[in-house]
Each structure stands twice: as C-alpha cells, then as structure tokens.
Amino acid sequence: MKVVLAGGGTAGHVNPLLATAAALVERGVDVCAIGTEEGLEADLVPAAGIEFIEIPRVPMPRRIGKALVEFPGKYKSAVAKAGRVLEETGASVAVGFGGFASTPLYSAARKRSIPFVVHEQNVKPGLANRFGARKAAAVALTFQSTRLSAASGTTRVVGLPLRKKIADLAALRDDSEARGAAHVAAAEELGVDPALPTLVVTGGSLGAQHLNEVLVAAIPALQDAGIQVLHLTGRGKDGPVREASAQAPNYHVIDYLKDMELAYAVADLVLCRSGAGTVAELCALGIPGFFVPLPIGNGEQEQNASEAVRAGGARLVRDRDFTLKNVTDEIIPLALDGDRLAAMSTVLGELMPVDADKRLAQLIEDIGEKR
C-alpha cells in the first residue's frame, strides 16, 4: 500500500503527519509527503527520512485584488502537481492534516477517485479540512467536541498522533516507578531538583511576552513558596527573565528547549498557551495545565482547552485577565496541592489516548484496503 500525506506550514500540522508516517512505516506501508517549500515541512519531513515532494503554496485570498484573480490558475497548478504525485506513486489513499498543501491533495484525490482521510487537530476546524470533509472517506478528530464530520464517510475520534519521545513518556503515565525514573533522569539533565514541586512555563518556541512579564513579577512569591520554576522564555526573550531571577536559585531559565519531553517529565503543573498540540500532549501525559490562550486568531486556542477545563483537569484565564494575582492566588496553591494535581492528572488521562498514531494508521489502512 502507498500513502501520500500532506500538511504543513506550522508544527501543529507537521508533527502529527510525521508521527502518523512513522506508524504507517512500522506497518510496512510506503509513504511520501507533499508540502510547500516555505513551510516547516520542507525541513522536518526529509529530516525524518520521508520522501518529500514540493507543490506550490496557494493561500486562499481574503480580499478582492490581484491575488484573487490569480488564485484559480495557481490552485489548478497545485492540484495538477498533487495529482501527478498520486499517479506516479500509485497511491491507495491520501491523508491531509490541514494547511496549504492539503487542499490541493484533497481535490486531486477526489478527481482520481482515490479515497482520502482528513485529520483535524483543533476543536475549531480550519478552512482546508472543512473543504476536505465534504468528500472525505474518513475524518479523524483530535477532540470529541470538534464540529466536523465526513459528509458521506466515517468520522472517528482518534486523538493527536504524538512525537515519539512524547508518546514514549505518555506510555509511562500509569507506571509510577518508570515515570519516577524518567522524572529523576530528566531533572538531572536539566539541572533541576527532582524533589521540589515544579512549575514549567512555556509560550512555545517563540515564547509568550505577557507570560514572561507576569512571571518576572511573580519570582519572589514563587521562591518564597518553595516552588521550582523551569521557564522556557522563547528564543531571544530570556534576557529580562534571567536578570530578574539571578538571585533565585530554584528559578531556571532556558530560551528554547528542543527536547520538550524533558520539561514534561519534571513538570507537576504547566503554565502555557493552548495550541492543539500542547493541550493534547498534556492530556496524554496527564499533566495539569494552567492555560492562557493566545489572544489572536479565531479563538481556536480557548476552544482547544475547553474539554480539559470542563473535565476539571485544567484551568484557563484569558490573556487580558492574566496577572500576578493569578499566580499568587491560583497557581501557587495548586502547585503545592499534590492531591488535587493527582486528581486532575487522572481526569486528563481519560481525555486523550496515547496511541493516536496507531489508531489513525489503522483507519488509513482500512480505507485504503476498501478501494
């Protein structure tokens, strides 16, 4: 069986593509991926050992102008390129994860009567996957509350395919001895104290300026409470935090951490944004989150966190409302309450499977075999 995958632009689309590709390869399936040269996929897919084929990047114009006039011709060219990939590989099934590369693949597959599967990462689906769901053989969802379904095919909640090191850590969530060993090993590698209650703060690779500013003000209170902090500030945003925490021995600052599984392994509580990947990872790992959604876009981050918050496994405060008072009155007491954190962890573990990559790979194979 040959499967062509598409998705990219951001890590939120690329990471589940890579995890699914790896699961398919383990099953003996041949895979390749299409994407744009501008997206992260152009670097990450080949680095993972997966054949990568470029197609043109054709964003849908949001306003009347030259780009709108040129769109039909450019889109037709992208569909044709995706179609050639499907034909030359003899694809049995196509899979899209959203992003600019997915829409042409959906159109090309439909034109050739090749079944395709849509995987949606967010609670609020994107434009590409809303388009694809209308003719998809199957729609796979990360969250139960996502309002997207295949118009005439299968719709299934599979979860989010996780990066391998995250999935390996998540697989230990019910093994206290193994999880404890991973905790100690990660603490040693990061240079933190494994015995202290630990708050991990992250705004993603680019950081979150507002979170950084509030945490700088909270450093004295956090240190007085005996809470250790691992603060991932984002590239180039560590200076003010390092300066403010210079005299705080249990406040550890890193601008960017490639191996996030290390931070997760030492975390008792995570303060972060609520992108789909972050929410799904915390749920799968059973780590309580204090979410401060990114205050731009279509509101998808707040929706992504909704299931975890409703279940009692996380807290959420909007960015404009997040202040020092939230740290002193909510985060500090929570980080020190082991029983409450344990209860929240149990709830989260019930929301997200740790084997989403295998579930999605099985669905893809099932669709391909029906052709």
Listed in order, strand segments (DSSP E) in the chain are: 2-6, 30-35, 51-54, 93-96, 116-120, 138-141, 154-157, 198-202, 228-232, 251-254, 269-272, 289-291, 314-316
Q: What angle separates helix 356-370 from helix 11-26, to the nearest 10 degrees?
A: 70
Q: Which two tokens stand for residue 46?
A: 């080949």
In DSSP terms, which residues pair with 32 in a beta bridge? 4, 51
61: Cβ contacts below 8 Å, ≥ 6 apart: 67, 68, 71
- Percentage of residues of the chain with pLDDT beyond 90: 80
276, with CB counted inside 10 A (0-12, 13-18, 19+), is: buried
In DSSP terms, which residues pair with 230 in a beta bridge? 200, 252
Given a cut of 80, whether residue 9 has pLDDT beyond it is no
State the Cα–Cα distance between residues 348 and 308, nearest whole angstrom.
6
Q: Which of 330, 295, 306 is nearest to 203 (CA)?
A: 295
Given a cut of 90, whether residue 63 has pLDDT beyond it is no
Given a cut of 70, whether residue 30 has pLDDT beyond it is yes
Neighbours of 172 (CB within 10 A): 19
| pLDDT classification of 132: cutoffs 50, 70, 90 | very high
Q: Is 210 helix (H, G, I), strand (E, B) or coil?
A: helix
Rg of the chain over Cα atoms, rounded to whole angstroms, equals 21
| pLDDT classification of 74: cutoffs 50, 70, 90 | confident
Given a cut of 60, whether residue 69 has pLDDT beyond it is no
| pLDDT classification of 297: cutoffs 50, 70, 90 | confident
Q: Would you state the pLDDT for residue 225?
A: 97
Structural domains in the chain plus CATH codes: 2-162+354-370 (3.40.50.2000), 164-349 (3.40.50.2000)
Higher pLDDT, 95 or 256: 95
Given a cut of 70, whether residue 71 has pLDDT beyond it is no
> Tens of pLDDT along 207-227?
588 999 999 999 999 999 999
Higher pLDDT, 300 or 113: 113
| pLDDT classification of 205: cutoffs 50, 70, 90 | low
Q: Evaluate whether 170 touches 242 at the Cβ level (below 8 Å).
A: no
Full-prediction pTM beyond 0.85? yes
Q: Would you state the pLDDT for residue 67?
A: 65
Higher pLDDT, 92 or 300: 92
Neighbours of 71 (CB within 10 A): 14
Q: Which two tokens stand for residue 36?
A: 């744009």
Q: Would you state the pLDDT for residue 12?
A: 80
Q: What is the mean pLDDT of residues 128-150?
A: 96
Q: Which two tokens stand for residue 242?
A: 């390092």
Given a cut of 60, whether residue 308 has pLDDT beyond it is yes
Across the chain, what does the average pLDDT equal? 93
Given a cut of 60, whether residue 350 has pLDDT beyond it is yes
Q: Evaluate whether 211 touches 292 at the Cβ level (below 8 Å).
A: yes
CA distances (Å), 304 to each of 147, 253, 320, in order?
A: 12, 27, 18
229: Cβ contacts below 8 Å, ≥ 6 apart: 198, 199, 200, 201, 215, 219, 222, 250, 251, 252
Q: Would you state the pLDDT for residue 66?
A: 67
Q: What is the mean pLDDT of residues 111-138?
A: 95
| pLDDT classification of 13: cutoffs 50, 70, 90 | confident
